[in-house]
Structure 1
Amino acid sequence: MRRICASLKMVIVCSLTMIAVTGCWDSRDVDNRLMVGALGLEKSTETSLRVWFRFPVPKAIQGLSKKDFFTMSQIGFTVPDAMNKIKYKLPKALDASSTRALLLDESLAKTGINPYLEFAIRERSVPLDAVVAVVRGNMERIFTSPNPTGELAGIYTKLFFEPYAGGIPRKNKTRLWEIYAKLYNPFHANLIPLVTEGVQNSFEFTGNAIFLNGKIVGELNKDESLLFEIFTHRFHDSEVELMNRSDVRIVHNHTRIKTKLERGIPIIGLDCSLVTTLIDSSRTRKQNESQIIAELESSLNAHAKSMFEKTQREGADVFGFGNRFRNRLQPSQHGDWPEMFKSAKISYKFHIILRNTGLEFLD
């Protein structure tokens, strides 16, 4: 009897082990899936939107088309609705888990992005680390034109913002999870890259769109975007600052931020240290070290002034300064931060070290 029980237990254990190691019964082979490289969202009517899909095509099945991608679009009331409808047109399963980029049409972004991104958080069908950008121009052309350097759909957009590839400090890289986290955080507004369709390439970077309550309320240009990267500790690699009589490369920075609350008014002080190198200078009107530093400091002060004027006018704290005041305010006051940011007193000071690594030394 004991032997029978032992044998029965062994059979049960072996059966459970076989069930555990077998594959999912409802899995689809990779050859039977169409992987989305990039998604584009634009308004179709007041109650619907058009979703653009760009699918990479493996070289083995490119056939006579010689294209490494194909594009489709679908109108729906929501993004999941458009995804479900387009499945009726596809010969393979739609797989959005490989999406590298999510592009938002500017007109849609002006009306509010909250309802169009909620699906990604609830369903998790789109990776939360996908890069997001606002498109000014023809969404159809961007999705139907081949990438100039030949990368598969979606990868081109991701590499455009990656620090190890085409990304530079002025290009503010924003991920999907960052946007959604700030949509419901009154202390931190969104700043999303703004691109326009290019003539010789897919698109080009023009600045950053300022968001408040999920809607575009302003825009930072390229120079102001550089100051944003410096003040928020997002600066990476190096960046060239062009001036009238010399060109300087910023190679390192460190910003110290001090905050306090006086009679309900936020006081924010920024102390920024920059390490720079001289990469070129005028041959007709030479400058000494102090003159170059003074011109660079004047340029940075002008960019910082215009940047803070734009953001404070709208009450859009894209820098996240409000998070430093969270424990100084009552929970009932948290929603008042955008108005408090408008009246905040912000000061900034630059300490510049110039390393002359050129062939000709300065006086």
Structure 2
Amino acid sequence: MSASGYGRAMMLLLCLPIVFVAGCWDSKDIDNRLMLGVMGIEKRSADSPLNVWFRFPLPKGTQDGTTSKQDFFTTSQYGQTVSDAMNKVRYKLPKALDPSSTRAILLDESLAKTGVDPYLEFAIRERSVPLDAVVAVIRGNMERIFTHANPTGELTGIYTKLFFEKYAGGIPRKNRTMLWEVYAKLYNPLHSNLIPLLTEGKQNSYVLAGNAIFVKDKLVGELNLDESLLYEIFTHRFHDSEVELMSKSDIRIVHNHTRVSTSFKDGKPIIRLDTSLVTTLIDSSRYRRQNASEVVAELEADLNAHAKSMFEKTQRLGADVFGFGDRFRSRLQPSEYEKWPEMFKHAEISYSFRVDLRNTGLEFLD
């Protein structure tokens, strides 16, 4: 081989590794992608087509460094499935649809009553949407929520996420539910779903109305805000602090601990909850005074009333949103798991509260 031929062969050998190590040959630059912030899925009736809403953040810098008012882009698309709608909407968009940044999935209340499993399956199978995206049920006009600007200025999707985050807008009554939790419970007969229920707001995007109770994948009822607080306490999801408004005083719950004990008696599940609460007095009536024992007694009465109504609702529906069934998993045969909703209806549930009231001050001294 001549020297020139040998040189060309060496150059070819040196260039071959570049072919194999070069990656991302089909990637799209971020400037050519539309990052999906929040997705809305609605189906008004069994005969109506599926409509999927998409909202994309569009940060636009101005000369003074601020963000312009129109910082988002919204579109919607009909389809037979969510994946079908996502494929069809690509024909409308000038850039690539990127669902990997989705912060929230909002489900229309009517759709939730018919069953959500067919509309969330795509996210699990394709893994295109993050599994930690928050999920909520919307009661109201989905179009208005997606077409109006967020009142506090956050980019779309981020606003929804912050609404539930502990370090931001989240408070104990706001039950944050993520996509992976929803899908896991759809196939767990021992644990039902409880998903935040939001109503359309007039001044802001939406307002927390309570929590939607699911049996399998269908919405069958709801917990109000007071009952939701008891759910957070009993399931060890309580965080930060929460104010309980009473007739003559306002109490802040700053800490709690719940001990759950379970057993079987004549084939009936027995569930016992013992809750200890640390509270502080933050306000009291100047005209209708109470001593410390009267405040504690009223708070315990309120908590017992909320717990009673909450368990009546969930047991009547056979919806174990608390996950008590998981505590009986080792005591049931796998073939009995599907019977747990019926067993939960007849379970004997008892609860007690021990309240430690602090910061009462001189006012309560006899």
> SS where residue 82 of structure 1 aligns?
helix
1:359–1:139 CA distance, 2 compared to 1 (3 A): farther
1:362–1:89 CA distance, 2 compared to 1 (3 A): farther
Aligned residue in 2 for 1:140: 143
> SS where residue 149 of structure 2 aligns?
coil
Is residue 349 of structure 2 the alignment partner of residue 349 of structure 1? no
Matches within 5 A, 1:1-363: 15-16=16-17, 18-19=18-19, 22-43=22-43, 46=46, 48-60=49-61, 66-356=69-359, 358=361, 360-363=363-366
TM-superposed CA distance for 1:213, in Å, is 1.4
1:330–1:13 CA distance, 2 compared to 1 (3 A): farther
* Contact 1:44–1:75 (8 Å) recurs in 2: no
Gap runs ≥5 in structure 1: 1-7
> SS where residue 190 of structure 2 aligns?
coil
Which AA in structure 1 matches 2:35?
Answer: M
1:352–1:295 CA distance, 2 compared to 1 (3 A): same
TM-superposed CA distance for 1:23, in Å, is 3.5
**Aligned equivalents of 1:116, 1:224: Cα separation in 2:** 28
**Aligned equivalents of 1:240, 1:268: Cα separation in 2:** 27
1:200–1:14 CA distance, 2 compared to 1 (3 A): same
TM-superposed CA distance for 1:60, in Å, is 3.9
> SS where residue 273 of structure 2 aligns?
strand
1:289–1:214 CA distance, 2 compared to 1 (3 A): same
TM-superposed CA distance for 1:65, in Å, is 7.7
**Aligned equivalents of 2:364, 2:231: Cα separation in 1:** 32
* Contact 2:291–2:364 (8 Å) recurs in 1: no
TM-superposed CA distance for 1:185, in Å, is 0.2
TM-score of the aligned structures, taking structure 2 as reference length: 0.93
> SS where residue 90 of structure 2 aligns?
helix
TM-superposed CA distance for 1:59, in Å, is 1.1
* Contact 1:280–1:358 (8 Å) recurs in 2: no
Gap runs ≥5 in structure 2: 1-8
* Contact 1:356–1:362 (8 Å) recurs in 2: no
**Aligned equivalents of 1:151, 1:166: Cα separation in 2:** 13
**CA offsets per residue over residues 143-193 of structure 1, 9 Å max, x none?**
001000010011111100101000100000000000000000000000000
TM-superposed CA distance for 1:332, in Å, is 1.1
**CA offsets per residue over residues 258-289 of structure 1, 9 Å max, x none?**
00011110000000000000001110111111
Aligned residue in 2 for 1:4: none
> SS where residue 219 of structure 1 aligns?
strand
1:76–1:278 CA distance, 2 compared to 1 (3 A): same
Which AA in structure 2 matches 1:43?
Answer: K
**Aligned equivalents of 1:218, 1:279: Cα separation in 2:** 34
TM-superposed CA distance for 1:21, in Å, is 5.0
* Contact 2:296–2:355 (8 Å) recurs in 1: yes
**CA offsets per residue over residues 234-280 of structure 1, 9 Å max, x none?**
00000000000010000000000000011110000000000000001
Q: Identical aligned pairs, as a percentage? A: 74
**Aligned equivalents of 1:357, 1:165: Cα separation in 2:** 29
